[in-house]
Structure 1
Amino acid sequence: MSAPRPSTKESIRAAAERLFPVHGYVGTSVRDIASEAGVDPALVIRHFGSKEELFLETMQLDAELHPLLDGPLDELGEHFIEYMLDTGDRVRGVYLALIRASESDGVVPRLREMHDTAFVLPLQSRLDGPDAELRARLAAAVVGGLLYALWVVQDEHLLATDQAEIVTRYGALVQAVIAPAPTATP
């Protein structure tokens, strides 16, 4: 007995998840997705509304990041950096696809929303103090900087550096920005 065939919508979603990370938002057409899924291009629009909506629905990392943000706060920096460096091609591909798509006007506001939903707000909810939002945003910027250097720029020196050293040093940076600022004593 053969396995059940995925629905048309799931076939389209799977095709988009394969193509967007490889070819980017601009380099992947609705026709490409439909061809990969074995469906008529009109079905892509019927099920997802637009290429932009399909992109934003499939290029998300929320599920992968939430368990990381639930661990002990005093170990979050190293734990998060280690996870990002050990992650498979999917997370790297999604990150690169999102970076490339940031040139598309309609995608930018949704990217900002996804950034907040996937990382900033869950981390902010765990932090105390009046500057919790700032610290969560700084942590996102620190992590994003490392991923940019490794995956976009492909900094050869960083790529050749022992991963444990990067985890220790960069984890300390993340930890430093999420820690509350020391209170001034009069």
Structure 2
Amino acid sequence: MPGSKDAIRDAAAGLFVERGYAATPLRDIAARAGVDASLIIRHFGSKEELFLRTVEERMPEAAPLDGPLESVGEDFIRFVLSSDAHVRGVFLALLRASDADGIGSRLRAVHDRFFVEPLRARLEGPDADLRARLAASLVGGLLYSFWAVRDEALAAADPELIVVRYGALLQRLITP
């Protein structure tokens, strides 16, 4: 079927965000895409592979990790705070699926490729890898507080104040 692969990816992306990985059976993805479930296996091999490929394709385009190193902290936090529902959905889908069989190690690889490695490449010093990983953890904590926990006090805070304060924390990891 022409376009069936795209229809499957779109249906899967929507359902994984809405329900999470574990609560999304292949038959529901197939029904939303208007295809037979066997076609999903033929195109993607497994539910795990469909999930991972869908998430990778929907990762945010260009996070501001390549600007001036001395402003990456605030620039990145500003980017995170201004992210749309799509970015939020990808983060929550990853979070919900992180304990599923076969997913955890691949998620770490995606995490490394999209955040840790680009940042580490810009850092100097013997602990560059550790600092890049700590920076990723720091940002992940902010996303978790905003999007998973839905911390109302953070949501009500002045975004620019969060950019300045949290950006300073991130910057200290990047340029110790």
- With the shorter chain as reference, the TM-score category is over 0.9
For structure 2, which runs of at least 5 residues remain unmatched after alignment?
Answer: none
Does the CA-based 8 Å contact 1:78-1:172 persist in structure 2?
yes
Q: What is the TM-score of this pair, normalised by structure 1?
A: 0.89
Superposition pairs of residues 33-182 of structure 1, within 5 angstroms: 33-60=29-56, 64=60, 66-180=62-176
Shift in CA distance, 147/15, structure 1 to aligned 2, threshold 3 Å: same
Deviation beyond 3 Å, 4+ runs, structure 1: none
Q: Percent identity, please.
A: 57
What root-mean-square deviation, in Å, do the aligned CA atoms of Structure 1 and Structure 2 show?
1.6
Alignment-derived partner of residue 28 in structure 1: 24
Query: Deviation of residue 160 (structure 1)?
Result: 1.1
Question: TM-score, normalised to structure 2's length?
Answer: 0.94
Q: Could you say which residue in structure 2 is the equivalent of 1:183?
A: none
| Equivalent pair of 1:20/1:97 in contact (CA under 8 Å) | yes
Q: Number of residues paired by the alignment? A: 176
Is the 2:63–2:76 contact (alpha carbons within 8 Å) kept by the matching residues of 1? no
> Aligned-pair distance for 1:161?
0.7
The residue type paired with residue 95 of structure 1 is F
1:147, distance to aligned residue in structure 2 (A): 0.6
Structure with greater Cα Rg: 1
